[in-house]
Amino acid sequence: MRLVYLRMEIKILAPLWGHESQDITTFCHRIKEAGYDGIDTWIPDDATVQKKLFDALQQEELLLISHQHQARGADFEAFKQSFREYLQFTAQGGPILMNCHTGKDYFSFQQNLDLIDIAAEFTAKTGLMVAHETHRGRVGFHPAEMQGYFDARPELVITADLSHWVCTSESFLENFQGTVEEAIARTRHIHARVGFEEGPQIPDPRAPEWKHALDHFFGWWDRMVEGRRQAGQRVLTFTTEFGPMPYMPTIPFKNVPVADQFEINVYMKELLTQRYLDGGPVVR
């Protein structure tokens, strides 16, 4: 018997978030030149901007992970209808995966579960995976809250942004080991931002005083990569998602960011590349 060994591909994407004012064609060229494999973004409402985005992705040969966060409504029923519509809307452009801000932290457990089920039905019909982001203000804003959804829906998969859990629990998740293990197993996309106990984003991952936080997150990401490798997944995606002001702290009285968002995200891309692509994981 002949054994074939294949590398699991790691694809690293840039966020449009923080660069909305730039011409989309120029930005797509910029991230391609910086070595990114794609872009993580919402689908623009304006048809002209949409076309520019899709044309630029094709021209630069960039992947798309689409981001559903626009669903809204004055009450749950209105939100549910909007959610259905934006799932369809966000499927445009040929995304490889949809990252989803699902529900609200003030909806009931059953209401949020209904939205998770709507997303599952959408995936079954279209084949497009919907990964529910672990995000403040949404379904699973806190690890204790997310465990209930894990228990109720074994098929639920996530975009792992553990910076939110670190912030909402004011910890590096020491007391949520079981939920963290389950989150690792359910991860299909990773937002590579580093949080700390009092916030979702450290000021600068290059600074030595934040090495302890960076090490915590790389520990989790290592296990996510290895878990997907063991599961036989062929492609795993990261988005370097350090954000702009006010996620990015500012210098008092000057209102300027303490660091350059794009530079930090490129730095994170290089760290991920060195760790996972240069002699990275192998899938049997």
pLDDT digits (tens, 9 = 90+) for 159-196: 999 999 999 999 999 999 999 999 999 999 999 999 99
Q: Is the pLDDT at 80 greater than 90, yes or no?
A: yes
Please give the pLDDT value at position 176: 98
**Does residue 254 belong to any structural domain of this protein?**
yes
Task: Judge whether residue 44 has pLDDT over 70.
Answer: yes
User: Which residues, in sequence order, are CB contacts of 169 under 8 Å at separation 6+?
Assistant: 142, 143, 144, 175, 176
Tell whether 236 is covered by a domain. yes
Give the pLDDT band (50/70/90) at residue 6: low
Q: What is the DSSP string of 185-219?
A: HHEEEEE----BTTBSS-S-TTSGGGHHHHHHHHH
> Where in the chain does DSSP place strands (E)?
6-7, 9-15, 38-41, 63-68, 97-100, 130-133, 158-160, 187-191, 235-239, 250-251, 256-257, 282-283
pLDDT band per the 50, 70, 90 thresholds, residue 283: very low
1 in any annotated domain: no
In this structure, is residue 283 part of a structural domain? no
Which pLDDT score, from 0 to 100, does residue 1 have? 30
- Whether 208 has a pLDDT exceeding 90, the answer reads yes
Q: Which long-range contacts (CB under 8 A, 24 or more apart) does 242-245 make?
A: 242/193, 242/194, 242/201, 242/205, 242/268, 243/15, 243/17, 243/18, 243/193, 243/201, 244/17, 244/18
Q: 157 pLDDT exceeds 90?
A: yes
Average pLDDT across the chain, whole number: 95
The pLDDT tens digits of the residues spanning 226-271 come to 999 999 999 999 999 999 999 999 999 999 999 999 999 999 999 9
How many structural domains is the chain composed of?
1
In a domain, 176, yes or no: yes
Asked, for residue 284, whether it belongs to a domain, the answer is: no
| pLDDT above 70 as % of the chain | 96
Q: What does the alpha-carbon distance between residue 123 and residue 90 come to, in Å, rounded to a whole number?
A: 12
Amino acid symbol at 9 = E
Residue listed under structure tokens 């490889």 = 96
Distance between CA atoms of 180 and 74, rounded to whole angstroms? 33
Q: Is residue 211 part of a domain?
A: yes
Q: In this structure, are residues 267 and 235 in contact, taking their beta carbons and an 8 Å threshold?
A: no
The amino acid at 3: L
- Structure confidence by residue, pLDDT tens digits, 90-116: 999 999 999 999 999 999 999 999 999
* CATH code at position 256: 3.20.20.150
Closest CA to 116 of 83, 74, 76, 72: 83
Between CA 26 and CA 48 the distance in angstroms is 15
- In the structure encoding, which two tokens stand for residue 274, read together? 């060195």
pLDDT, tens digit, 9 for 90 and up, residues 111-139: 999 999 999 999 999 999 999 999 999 99
pTM of the model: 0.94
Q: List 98's β-bridge partners, or say none.
A: 66, 130
pLDDT on residue 139 = 96
Does any domain span residue 179? yes
Enclosing domain of residue 210: 6-278
Residue 279: predicted pLDDT: 55
